[in-house]
Chain A
Amino acid sequence: MLAYIIRRVAQSILVLLVTGFVAFSMFSFVGDPVENMLGQERTQADVDRLRGQLGLDQPFVVQYAKFLQQAAQGNFGLSYRQGREVSAILAERLPATLELAFVSGLLALGGGIGFGILTAIRRRGISSNVIMTLSLVGVSLPTFLIGILLIYVFSVELGWLPSFGRGEVVDLGWWTTGFLTVSGLKALVLPAITLGLYQMTLIMRLVRTEMMEVLRMDYIRFARARGLRERSINFRHALRNTLVPVITITGLQLGSIIAFAIITETVFQWPGVGLLFINAVQFVDIPVMAAYLMMISVMFVGINLIVDLLYFAIDPRLRVDGKAGGH
């Protein structure tokens, strides 16, 4: 098991090196930031000074090595656009995105597993059919459209919920949270639904399929033949076995919530890293783009690792640690 974890960690590092290279390459191949930063009224001296300041006059390999070294310390240099530390800008924006992703993830996971179980157990019920039909809508409508529809209904027509921004936030010094104010919580509702809906329907359909598969297994039949209660059969016996294959996909889905947040944040003008990234793209603010890319890939890789470890926790067959006798 230890060897397996070490191998997985090594793979993760390799993945990060590759994305690091892609992120870094953007500096050399996408536009010339200096042109953007200095307006029309520039002298060659200004250009050279700025190039030196940003380290753009050094050879490629040196720049890459320096980039990696700095990136490992969370240092991505100065934003071309704002002229401030990229890490400071990210740190300022990250709470908004993480809070949104957290609520959407919870929604996706809770709703997905809950509805998945419900529709698997009551396969023929009316509620199952309604949920399944609605879930089709969930998968087929693009995220931005769902966001706009929600804004139209709940903000424009009904006026219940705000259509943009985070509402009032409380500054804890190192973190700004919208969880502590009513307007902050209200502002979370629509973006969280928009962001989580797609993932929720995917998780729900996955749980449903797996659960129906598991409910057909011999050990479920045998559990019935032993007179166990339906509740125990469904949740103790079937659900656990359902979760084993569901975990991987679900983990990846939750990772993609943060990535997908770009669209939702744009629609709702949510002041998170996704919106920051979109603005950075428009301005060719390479350090911000690179930092965002690295951050997302670290999250994906991290989630993947956690998912692998969860496998071990849930499925005893993978825990081959010498305790096993038998055979």
Chain B
Amino acid sequence: MSEPVLSVRDLVVEIPTRHGVLRPVDGVSYDIAAGEILGVVGESGAGKSMTGNAVIGLLDRPARIASGEVLLQGQPIHQLQGAALRKLRGRHMGMIFQDPLTSLNPLLTVGDQLTETIQEHLDLSASQAHERAIAALDEVGIPAARQRIDSYPHEFSGGMRQRVVIALALCAEPELIIADEPTTALDVSVQAQIIALLRRLCRERGVAVMLVTHDMGVIAEAADRVAVMYAGRLAELGPVREVVTQARHPYTAGLMASTPVASQGQKRLRQIPGAMPRLDAVPAGCAFHPRCERAQARCRQAPGPTLQACDGRAACWFPITHEQEATL
């Protein structure tokens, strides 16, 4: 396989506070290849958004990348600042936010916002940029794009607005898109369309997509591989079908058992007992051990398991084994 579009290596994000340094992202590593969708799941507060923001360089102060590397097409970008970083954003990596109602500037037409972005990154005349903006709207499925280009955001429905947001994120043809819960704020009926659109654009253009979501249905639908995050660390990382049906990490298994889509055959949903630790009270060893049925002495000792130290897929000293796997 060719070089991945995005490589994240041992990424650590720290937030200095009065009561000590918090680590919302703690040693995360993953790759995303061109044309691939990596789903990122985990409970609220697991560090999914932080990871995405760190990659694109939009961490809010005082959060900062403390160590690790972010490589975009092989080039390290985690130390870039100012204009160098700004030129990458939009042109080589884009971001899609959760709420299309608030992602668009209400006082500028969608055409203004598109052409501004296009002209910022590509050397095009105003009329060329205008044509390109129309093409971008057309590509994301806005009907009558030529007429709608002078409309203001409030003249579009929620689903259409999210299409406009996607057009904006993709109009300068970045190789990487980080989509942070792009469908959470939308009607259920529209969600599937937006996911299908993302999938299509990813395939057609060979864009690498990091898709953050709470929705296992979305993951099962769209993602090629899935990363499960827990307390700022990767719990499991693997091809989506294997992770969903044959979870190795007890946390993943618990997560699947508690979501309707992944646990179809099951009679009722099971919750994992307890709650994810707060950032200022992450236990030593495996962060999940207080909630884990399989925990043993080794799980309580620092340092905790990492993907690399374990079997490469689940960060667990005692992963769940599946019989079918043995026969594969």
Contacts and interface: CB of A to CB of B under 8 A. Distances in A.
Interface stretch (A54-62, A163-171, A214-222): A214-222
Contact of A224 (B89, B116, B172): B89
Interface stretch (B132-140, B152-160, B217-225, B255-263): B152-160
Interface string A296-327: 00000000000000000011110000011111
Interface of A is mostly: helix
Interface in A200-243: 217-219, 221-229, 232, 236-237, 240-241
B107 interface: yes
B94 A226 contact: yes
Contact of A227 (B90, B97, B102, B103): B90
Contact of A316 (B56, B116, B120, B152): B152
Contacts of A241: 105-107
A218 B97 contact: yes
Interface residues of B, number: 36
A184 B228 CA distance: 74
B58 interface: yes
Contact of B107 (A218, A315, A325): A315
B313 to A, nearest CB: 31
Nearest to A220: B105
B174 to A, nearest CB: 9
Interface in B141-160: 148, 151-152, 154-157, 160
Nearest to A314: B107
Contacts of B72: none
B103 A218 contact: yes
B98 to A, nearest CB: 8
Contacts of B155: 323-327
Interface string B40-59: 00000000000000001010
Contacts, number: 95
A225 B117 contact: no
Interface string B107-123: 11100000011001100
Contacts of A315: 106-107
B37 interface: no
A226 B58 CA distance: 11
B28 interface: no
Contacts of A224: 58, 86, 89
B106 A317 contact: yes
B168 interface: yes
B276 interface: no
Contact of B116 (A217, A219, A228, A325): A228
Contacts of B157: 326-327
A227 B121 CA distance: 8
Interface residues of A, number: 27
A223 to B, nearest CB: 7
B84 to A, nearest CB: 11
Contact of B102 (A218, A228, A229, A236): A218
A226 B109 CA distance: 16
A219 B58 contact: no
B105 A223 contact: yes
B190 to A, nearest CB: 13
B185 to A, nearest CB: 11
Contacts of B102: 217-219
Nearest to B86: A227
Given A237-B105, A241-B107, A326-B151, A225 B88 contact: no
A225 B152 contact: no
B89 A225 contact: yes
B169 interface: yes
Given A241-B107, A315-B107, A326-B156, A227 B151 contact: no
A240 B108 CA distance: 9
Nearest to A237: B105
Interface of A: 217-219, 221-229, 232, 236-237, 240-241, 244, 314-317, 323-327
10 contacts: A222-B165, A224-B86, A226-B94, A226-B169, A240-B108, A317-B152, A325-B155, A327-B155, A327-B156, A327-B157
Interface of B: 56, 58, 86-91, 94-95, 97, 99, 102-109, 116-117, 120-121, 148, 151-152, 154-157, 160, 165, 168-169, 172
